Amino acid sequence: MKKSLLTEDWTVVLFGFIIIGVALVGVKIPSPSFGWETTSDLTEKVLTTGNLIKLGQIFVFTFVIALLAASVLGKSVAGTAKGFPIVFVLTSLALVLAGNAFLKNWNLEAVIFSLTIGLLLSNFFTLPAWLTETLSTELFVKIGLILLGTSVIFGDILKAGSLGLIQALVVVISVWYFAFWVSKKMGIDEEFAIMISSAVSICGVSAAIATSGAIKGDSKKLSYVISIVLITAIPMIIFLPFIAQALGLSQAVTGAWLGGTIDTTGAVIASGTMVGEEALKISTIVKFSQNVLLGFAAFAISIYWTMTNNQSATVKESKPTAAVIWERFPKFVIGFIAASLLFSFVISPETIEEVKGGFKSLQGLWFALAFTSIGLETKFSDLFSKEGKKPLYAFLIAQLFNVFVTLTVAYVLFN
């Protein structure tokens, strides 16, 4: 392996901002359509020549980024050239499956299909070593996170108003610490506990991914947490609106409850729509407030992890100096926050409106590529180990706590 020119985190920041810069100078990032309901929709909307050309364009764009990043990191460019197209094709299949209207209604996101396809191939077939050796899971995840930063707009706090912000702060802090405490009491390791706590308290999938990146977490544990998030969101979408109706809650209280409890934005919107227009509006605003806190949480978790766990034996013997903290701090978090600040206070709303669709599409693609890669390098026995039940129980207990705490706070603030 050649010597790398940059660390992986700085490479991610570099290419993340190259992508942002390309879009801001006016190069339109293609956004292929994957949404379909019937077979005729599939052929007339997704598998059309125009849409496939867009998919080809986005492949070329991401392929070039992957090759350049491999070169900067000192990895095999030839191996990446062979492996990336395979991962991209499998990920495209996952995106098409996730685009089905029926599956979307059940909040089955692309990452779960990406992971499943990768797992099926890795567990039922013998994959060539050159393929698994060239997978760049961390690179894909962190580029997606830099792009996620462009959608974490601080102005959303103002939209939420004081009540939404107060609820978000109370819920995130109380639920995070409770989930962490439960996880540690059940003997779950700290890395797993932090991922579970962030996922259940902040914003589900995005929070789990950001936290895993911040602490250089095990990708298998991340897959497990995301699977739990997506699976538990399904019954919550369906039953919470009915429970709210049975309790006689107003639309305002119901919306605040849904927005603070359900872990993914898509699921919040789906559930809020079932209740009514006011519930949908308030649930979305409350969820935005929690999403904005993701940047602060990732930064705080990074500092904590750097000063406690992420240290060599030599460092542990001495006090953690500013230089040591900086050396071991995950630099991609700086890129994430920089992107958020740039789009919050520098870029005009008109420009944001023009580029946000392309960024959202590309962000989802990088995450999906990462989870295809995780699946390809994971065995079922690793994903569902004998300790697998403890994290599930911890998540469910924390989510139940989340339901009651958020309902109480929402009732006090919005009733």
Q: Per residue in 193-203, pLDDT tens?
A: 999 999 998 87
Query: Residue 23 has what pLDDT?
Result: 93
CB 200 within 8 A of CB 263: yes
**Which tens digit of pLDDT belongs to each residue from 81-103?**
999 999 999 999 999 999 998 88
**Which tens digit of pLDDT belongs to each residue from 113-135?**
888 899 899 889 888 988 888 88
Give φ, ψ of 378 to 5 degrees. -120, 140
Q: Which of 13-17, 235-239, 260-264, 390-394 has the highest mean predicted lDDT (pLDDT)?
A: 13-17
Query: Residue 383 has what pLDDT?
Result: 59
Number of H helices, E strands in the chain: 21, 0
Q: How confident is the model at residue 314 (pLDDT cuts 50, 70, 90)?
A: very low
**Which tens digit of pLDDT belongs to each residue from 250-284?**
998 999 999 889 877 667 876 887 888 788 878 87
Residue type, 159: K
Task: Give me the residue label for tokens 């991609």.
Answer: 332
Question: What residues are paired with 36 via a beta bridge?
Answer: 100
Q: How confident is the model at residue 167 (pLDDT cuts 50, 70, 90)?
A: confident
- Average pLDDT taken over every residue of the chain: 85
- What are 41's two structure tokens? 């929709």
pTM: 0.75
Q: How many residues does this entry show for the chain?
A: 415
**Which tens digit of pLDDT belongs to each residue from 346-397?**
999 899 999 988 898 898 899 899 889 888 987 766 656 655 688 889 999 9
